[in-house]
């Protein structure tokens, strides 16, 4: 990794160390942000007493190329007018006409619904558009006198301004509904492998284990300051966990939620010891191998004799002593016959033995399966007292694999429950693939919903909280159900060449002649890496050249800084000139370099507006793109 990575990590570390910035920012912005216009676009009554209503929030004026974190209060007609329970939330981002933009053009990078009174971050969604669906009988408490703030980040991948609306569909049980009194209050717990307003970490290609996977935080020894565990939260009261879904970015494979309880060990029924058939199998297998090798030897000897016999027969007419040769032939024939008889008899012994061997092997297999099935019903306790609660796996619909937003997460199903007690610790980790590319600015987040015992008691005929499975006794369903299917807006994959290269964004830069280099720095403006952008025609697009040991410096234009248009230089595999889409280009350069999201310091930027390519690069042509605006492509050459 070049110099960029080190600076990147330092600046980001400093930024994320500012704890509490999230709430501070919300409180400040609540005062100054104007309330956005909103409307109800759809409403319908559901059989369980809930009303399904789609609210619209906006318009949101999306500026060219923006990747901006904003806070907006959700007030008035853009949320329910009466108290009640929220049981489901489904997000979207739409144009004025209700159509959904392609994610290759603009993405709902994240939206976090925040209750300003309780501090709850009660719903979050990202590009994967996860739906929150609380289990039957549970709801998130809604009060009209509690303020809501949406923390959103809209990522415009294009140089075009847009007018968009947030849409979110609530299932809501109002106070007036007969079902209202029987709903149990569900509360969110925000689990995050990082912290702060922009809780990201970088995943580098080939990092982590030999399995091509990187798990955060444990695969990064410097993930947290000593003694700090950002990914762990302690449960304060007895209660029941109700459900969770993970959030990862492109390249992410899963999040995993665990529980730790001091001194706890597996406490469920034990599986009977597996019966071992090794003592029976060993001699049978040895015998079998012995028979096979004897048969092979006899066959080999027969073949040899057959060759000798043939040789003698061929040379018979030239021999003086024909009688002697004929005697030799008959001797060989006799020996061959005897051999064949022996083969047949060993074969019979082999078959008898094999029948016994097969029988014992079948018994052994059955016993292994029985044992595995029994153990599969038991929770796995590892690292002392840690028990696995849920694997929120990312299911990629993208035919090219885990390299785009064409995916959905696995969620816990409706009857997933986990009994928790005060002092229990929840722990989260997330796993990314590291064979295909690097994945800068990655996340690993779960919102876990739970109910407290004392609030479960608030409803008539409450369920017995103690009936929820103790995860040290009963294995919970760690697999869950897919949150949603493939979404149409995620089909613009890119990476195409087209007929005669019609879809290429520029020529193959490795084949272009050397360009001029006057010393720099190069200015990035109008979505062009001026001086190093191979999409430009003629001499302008030729890769600039320096000698080994030297580097190029790039800086943001004042216009981009003033208008908050952030860029990166991210290495991509040469020629990196195919069409732009959600899975092309990706950060897969043969030699990895990464500037970070250049900008003056507020999240999501890294805090510098000028960056130099690593001076450790060997001879060759290097290609790069902008992770924020993947249509931007550049190249330079080292000689
Ligand atoms: Cu850019």
Calculate how far, in angstroms, residue 93's C-alpha sits from the geometric centre of ligand 1.
22
Q: Which residues pair with 257 in a beta bridge?
A: 390, 428
CA distance 473 to 74: 43
Calculate how far, in angstroms, residue 605's C-alpha sits from the geometric centre of ligand 1.
12
Where b means 16+ CB within 10 Å and e means fewer, 154-179 reads bbbbbeeebebbbbbbbbbbbeebeb
Calculate how far, in angstroms, residue 177's C-alpha sits from the geometric centre of ligand 1.
50
Calculate how far, in angstroms, residue 442's C-alpha sits from the geometric centre of ligand 1.
18
pTM over 0.85: no
Calculate how far, in angstroms, residue 58's C-alpha sits from the geometric centre of ligand 1.
25
Average pLDDT, the chain: 90
Residues with CB under 5 A from ligand 1 (ion): 567, 626, 628-629
Fold exhibited by the domain 1-20+494-639: Immunoglobulin-like (2.60.40)
- Does residue 338 sit in helix, strand or coil? helix
Structure tokens at 331: 């001797």
Residue 451 phi/psi, 5-degree rounding, is -125, 140
Element containing residue 105 per DSSP (H, E): none
Q: Which one has a higher pLDDT value, 182 or 3? A: 182
Calculate how far, in angstroms, residue 490's C-alpha sits from the geometric centre of ligand 1.
21
Helices (H), 42-152: none
Calculate how far, in angstroms, residue 24's C-alpha sits from the geometric centre of ligand 1.
29
What radius of gyration do the chain's Cα atoms show?
A: 34
Calculate how far, in angstroms, residue 625's C-alpha sits from the geometric centre of ligand 1.
8
Among 158-162, 356-360, 456-460, the minimum mean pLDDT is found in 456-460
Residue 206 has pLDDT above 50, yes or no: yes
The DSSP secondary structure of 231-257, one letter per residue, reads TEEE--S-EEEEEEEEEE-TTEEEEEE
Fold exhibited by the domain 21-270+386-488: Jelly Rolls (2.60.120)
Task: Spell out where 416-527 has E strands.
Answer: 418-420, 425-433, 439-442, 444-452, 481-482, 522-525
Calculate how far, in angstroms, residue 188's C-alpha sits from the geometric centre of ligand 1.
35
- Does residue 300 sit in helix, strand or coil? helix
pLDDT of residue 39: 62
pLDDT of residue 387: 95
pLDDT in tens, 556-575: 999 999 999 999 999 999 99
pLDDT in tens, 476-518: 999 999 999 999 999 999 999 999 999 999 999 999 999 988 8
Residue 319 has pLDDT above 90, yes or no: no
């Amino acid at each position: 990794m070049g110099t960029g990575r080190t600076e990147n990590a330092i600046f980001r570390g400093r930024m994320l160390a500012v704890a509490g910035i999230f709430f501070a920012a919300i409180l400040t912005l609540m005062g100054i942000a104007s309330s956005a216009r909103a409307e109800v676009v759809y409403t319908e009554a559901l059989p369980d007493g809930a009303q399904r209503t789609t609210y619209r929030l906006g318009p949101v004026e999306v500026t060219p190329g923006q990747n901006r974190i904003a806070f907006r209060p959700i007030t008035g007609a853009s949320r329910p007018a009466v108290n009640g329970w929220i049981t489901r939330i489904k997000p979207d981002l739409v144009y004025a006409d209700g159509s959904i933009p392609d994610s290759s053009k603009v993405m709902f990078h994240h939206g976090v619904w925040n209750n300003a009174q309780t501090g709850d971050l009660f719903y979050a969604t990202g590009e994967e558009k996860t739906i929150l669906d609380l289990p039957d009988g549970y709801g998130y408490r809604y009060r009209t006198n509690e303020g809501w703030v949406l923390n959103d980040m809209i990522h415009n991948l294009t140089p075009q301004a847009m007018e968009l609306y947030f849409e979110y569909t609530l299932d809501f049980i109002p106070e007036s509904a007969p079902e209202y009194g029987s709903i149990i209050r569900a509360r969110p717990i925000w689990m995050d492998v990082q912290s702060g307003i922009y809780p990201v970490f970088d995943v580098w290609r080939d990092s982590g284990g030999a399995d091509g996977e990187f798990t955060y935080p444990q695969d990064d020894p410097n993930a947290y300051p000593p003694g700090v565990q950002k990914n762990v939260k302690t449960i304060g009261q007895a209660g029941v966990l109700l459900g969770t879904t993970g959030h990862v970015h492109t390249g992410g494979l899963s999040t995993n939620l665990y529980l730790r309880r001091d001194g706890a060990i597996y406490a469920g029924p034990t599986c009977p010891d597996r019966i071992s058939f090794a003592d029976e199998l060993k001699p049978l297998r040895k015998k079998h191998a012995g028979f096979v090798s004897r048969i092979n030897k006899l066959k080999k000897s027969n073949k040899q004799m057959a060759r000798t016999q043939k040789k003698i027969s061929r040379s018979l007419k030239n021999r003086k002593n024909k009688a002697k040769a004929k005697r030799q032939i008959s001797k060989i024939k006799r020996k061959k016959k005897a051999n064949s008889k022996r083969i047949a008899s060993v074969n019979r012994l082999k078959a008898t033995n094999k029948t016994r061997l097969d029988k014992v092997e079948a018994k052994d297999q059955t016993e292994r399966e029985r044992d595995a099935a029994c153990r599969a019903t038991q929770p796995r306790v590892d690292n002392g007292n840690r028990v696995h609660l849920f694997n929120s796996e990312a299911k990629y619909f993208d035919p090219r694999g885990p390299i785009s937003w064409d995916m959905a997460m696995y969620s816990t199903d409706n009857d997933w429950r986990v009994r928790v007690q005060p002092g229990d610790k929840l722990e989260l980790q997330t796993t990314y693939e590291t064979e295909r590319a690097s994945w800068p600015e990655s996340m690993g987040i779960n919102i876990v919903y739970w109910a407290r015992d004392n609030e479960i008691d608030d409803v008539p005929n409450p369920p017995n909280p103690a009936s929820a499975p103790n995860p040290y006794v009963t294995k919970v369903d760690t697999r869950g159900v897919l949150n949603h299917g493939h979404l149409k807006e995620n089909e613009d994959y890119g990476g195409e060449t087209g007929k005669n290269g019609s879809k290429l964004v520029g020529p193959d830069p490795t084949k272009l002649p050397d360009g001029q280099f006057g010393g720099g720095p190069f200015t990035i403006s109008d979505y062009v890496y001026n001086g190093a952008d191979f999409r430009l025609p003629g001499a302008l697009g030729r890769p600039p050249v320096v000698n080994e040991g030297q580097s190029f410096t790039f800086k943001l234009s004042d216009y981009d800084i003033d208008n908050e248009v952030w860029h990166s230089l991210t290495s991509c595999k040469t020629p990196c000139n195919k069409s732009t889409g959600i899975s092309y280009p990706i950060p897969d350069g043969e030699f990895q370099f990464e500037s970070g999201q250049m900008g003056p310091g507020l999240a999501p930027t890294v805090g510098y507006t000028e960056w130099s390519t690593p001076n450790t690069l060997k001879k060759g042509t290097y290609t790069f793109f902008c992770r924020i605006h993947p249509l931007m492509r550049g190249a330079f050459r080292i000689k």
